[in-house]
């Protein structure tokens, strides 16, 4: 199985953008940590100006907060009219597929309204929800820790990042998609994300994950399923938004943290290589990750040019799974068995992030 052993890039100097927050960053704790011990929550964001006035703004923020929880509880798809009937500006609680969702707090700042929704029958005092979280976001120093080690003992986790976008809901959705794109490289599955509502292009967290896994060794095994997921943490490094996305439907990949793999890719018994990529012409983080992986595999083989095929093989022995890429080099074609061991995002301005990946050879 691919293993995540993410380590932080120890920068000698903190950048100014890591210590600053954008003006629109909300002051309440639940935005940065919507999921805590015994609390499962989600944040919805809406522009403070909307056709329909303040009530419509409240309704949109509540709808988007509920959508974030719907991806976790496995709620069915609804059309826009059904959603409007289910969640109004006056709604304090709703029942959805046997679950109660409570809208417990809201705040407005710099032209945006933020709504917090909780899953379950009860909620702690507002003072508890609004305090106790650090807004610190220093990716190069692994602060908070989930930026470099998003996996937990009982749940798989991934870090997503987004540049400044046309709106905050759009930025949040892009960060979520960038986190989910990593499932292809860590678990060997391809993820297609679709908006719950094609009419709401900037809905926050409302994505249905459709996963198709193809085992090319057997050539006939195909399985399609839907995975639950939830945004558990968020922070800003300057104008860039980082989120942690978890899914309880995938086994966690957790074997400790490697030491300084950026400078020492050969460690823990592995022969490894580091690949990196900056902003690409299409502006997609997923493209940067793929290019960085290709460059890392080139480092393993010593080839000047490498290219990964779209297909990948999942080799399985007992419970262990390894993602194997068919690697094409400039002079030959060969199968390289490897794992993606770690990934780091380093902000380089409001519209630029450098990606580092650590790939190691396996004996499969």
Q: Which two tokens stand for residue 298?
A: 């080139």
**Helix H or strand E encompassing 55:** helix 53-73
Q: Residue 276 contacts by C-beta under 8 Å, 6 or more apart in sequence?
A: 292, 295, 354, 355, 356, 357
List the domain range (segments joined by +) for residue 316: 1-10+28-33+133-364
- Determine, yes or no, domain membership for 47: no
Per-residue model confidence (pLDDT) at position 324: 56
- Determine, yes or no, domain membership for 295: yes
- Determine, yes or no, domain membership for 114: no
Q: Which of 161, 139, 204 is nearest to 352 (CA)?
A: 161
- Determine, yes or no, domain membership for 72: no
Per-residue model confidence (pLDDT) at position 81: 80
- Determine, yes or no, domain membership for 312: yes
- Residuewise pLDDT in 10s, the chain (364 residues): 333 433 334 333 334 444 567 888 888 999 999 999 889 999 999 888 877 788 999 999 999 999 889 888 887 767 778 888 899 999 999 998 899 999 999 999 989 999 999 999 888 899 989 988 888 898 878 889 888 888 887 888 889 988 877 888 888 888 888 888 887 777 766 655 544 322 222 333 344 444 443 332 333 345 556 678 899 999 998 888 999 999 887 777 655 556 678 888 998 888 899 999 988 877 777 788 888 988 888 787 765 555 555 444 545 444 444 555 555 555 555 556 677 878 888 887 767 788 898 888 876 5
- Determine, yes or no, domain membership for 166: yes
Per-residue model confidence (pLDDT) at position 121: 87
Q: Does the model's pTM come out above 0.85?
A: no
Q: Which of 143, 133, 123 is nearest to 26 (CA)?
A: 133
- Determine, yes or no, domain membership for 186: yes
For the chain, the domain total comes to: 1
- Determine, yes or no, domain membership for 351: yes
């Amino acid at each position: 199985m691919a293993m995540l052993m993410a380590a932080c890039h120890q920068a000698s100097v903190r950048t100014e953008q890591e210590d600053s927050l954008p003006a629109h960053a909300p002051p309440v704790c639940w935005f940065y940590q919507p999921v805590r011990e015994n609390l499962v929550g989600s944040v919805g964001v809406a522009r403070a100006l909307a056709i329909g006035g303040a009530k419509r703004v409240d309704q949109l923020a509540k709808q988007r907060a509920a959508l974030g929880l719907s991806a976790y509880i496995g709620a069915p798809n609804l059309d826009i009219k059904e959603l409007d009937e289910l969640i109004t500006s006056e709604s304090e609680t709703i029942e959805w597929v046997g679950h109660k969702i409570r809208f417990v707090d809201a705040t407005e700042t710099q032209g945006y309204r933020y709504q917090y929704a909780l899953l379950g029958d009860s909620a702690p005092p507002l003072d508890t929800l609004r305090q106790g979280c650090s807004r610190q976001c220093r990716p190069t120093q692994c602060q908070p820790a989930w930026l470099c080690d998003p996996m937990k003992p009982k749940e798989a986790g991934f870090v997503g990042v987004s540049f400044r976008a046309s709106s905050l809901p759009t930025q949040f959705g892009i960060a979520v998609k960038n986190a989910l794109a990593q499932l292809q490289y860590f678990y060997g599955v391809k993820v297609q994300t679709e908006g719950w509502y094609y009419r709401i292009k900037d809905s926050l967290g409302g994505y249905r994950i459709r996963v198709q896994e193809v085992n090319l060794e057997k050539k006939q095994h195909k399985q399609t399923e839907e995975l639950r997921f939830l945004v558990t943490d968020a922070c800003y490094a300057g104008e860039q938004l980082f989120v942690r996305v978890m899914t309880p439907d995938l086994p966690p990949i957790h074997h400790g943290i490697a030491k300084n793999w950026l400078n020492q890719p050969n460690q823990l018994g592995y022969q490894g290589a580091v690949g990196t990529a900056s902003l690409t012409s299409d502006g997609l983080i997923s493209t940067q990750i793929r290019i960085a992986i290709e460059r890392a595999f080139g480092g393993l083989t010593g080839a000047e040019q490498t290219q990964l095929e779209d297909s990948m093989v999942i080799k399985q022995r007992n419970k262990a799974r390894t993602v194997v890429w068919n690697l094409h080099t400039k002079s030959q074609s060969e199968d390289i068995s490897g794992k993606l061991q770690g990934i780091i995002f380093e902000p380089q301005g409001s519209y630029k992030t450098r990606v580092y990946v650590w790939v190691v050879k396996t004996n499969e």
